[in-house]
Amino acid sequence: MSTTPSDVPAAPLSHPEGEENTGAVALVDLRRYDQSWYHPGRSKPIVLLWWLVQAVAFPLTLHAHHAPRRFLLRLFGAKIGKGVVIRPSARVHYPWKVEIGDYSWIGSGVELYSLDSINIGSHCVISQNSYLCTGSHDLHDPAFGLQVAPIAIETGAWIATDCFIGPGVTIGANAVIGARSSVFRDMPAQHICVGSPCRPLKVREMRNSQPGD
């Protein structure tokens, strides 16, 4: 008789050799995990082709020569504005779910984990090693179900070095997210926001000059 995922009993925790078994039981059973409902938006061959192209072609392009990388991203469905800077070590999971506005910068080591859409406005900066993550798991679900939600980085925002932006988050226009912050909720426009979890600190004030002066 076959069993459905709900029939599978909870899995006991394993313990390294030599450690005492306390009898604790795992709250999740990863044998029940199922993401068959999720579709990446392209066929498996296209997904694999993109990952191959990114792994091989991106590192071969010159650090300051962004046009080839913009071309490859557009070829695979990304919406990339004019003058976008994207470094060779940046990674885009599914480019067809990504939109980047004019003159924005994507720094070295940035990860755009685009299980859902990532929309980055114009004149935005995503600094080195930041991680924009549209996917997570339901921590209350015994089957550890996949959850996805879009991310929006609005015009003029700066995500500083080594930040984590979680699923469903919107960063308001002209906001600044301080280095190594972890953002799990929306941040207001034109505010400097810091911390883990990230919180608004103060209004971002600008000197009396216009863009382009």
User: Does residue 12 form part of some domain?
Assistant: no
pLDDT in the model for residue 60: 94
Please give the Cα distance from 168 to 184 (Å, whole number).
8
Cα–Cα distance, 177 to 186 (Å, whole number)? 11
Vertex 69 angle, CA 97 and 132, to 5°: 40
**Nearest CA-CA partner of 85 in 141, 124, 112, 54:** 124
Rg (CA), the chain: 21
Instruction: Provide the pLDDT for residue 210.
Output: 66
State residue 23's pLDDT score.
77
Residue 118: the pLDDT is 99
Range of 179's domain?
Answer: 41-203
Does any domain span residue 27?
no
In a domain, 134, yes or no: yes
Q: Quick check: is 30 in a domain? A: no
State pTM to two decimals.
Answer: 0.87
- CA 42 to each of CA 33, 74, 163, 167: distance values in angstroms, whole numbers, following the listed order: 22, 14, 28, 21
Task: Determine the pLDDT at residue 2.
Answer: 43
Q: Is residue 19 assigned to a domain?
A: no
Residue 44 burial (CB count, 10 A): 8
Residues 118, 134 contacting (CB under 8 angstroms): yes
User: What is the structure's pLDDT at 6?
Assistant: 47
- 191 in a structural domain: yes
Note whether residue 210 is domain-resident.
no
Alpha carbon 48 to chain centroid, angstroms: 19
Provide the domain count of the chain: 1
Per-residue confidence in pLDDT tens, the chain, 213 aa: 444 444 555 555 555 555 556 678 999 999 999 999 999 999 999 999 999 999 999 999 999 999 999 999 999 999 999 999 999 999 999 999 999 999 999 999 999 999 999 999 999 999 999 999 999 999 999 999 999 999 999 999 999 999 999 999 999 999 999 999 999 999 999 999 999 999 999 999 999 876 665
**CATH number for position 83:** 2.160.10.10
Max distance between CA atoms of the chain, in angstroms, equals 75
Does 158 reside within a domain? yes
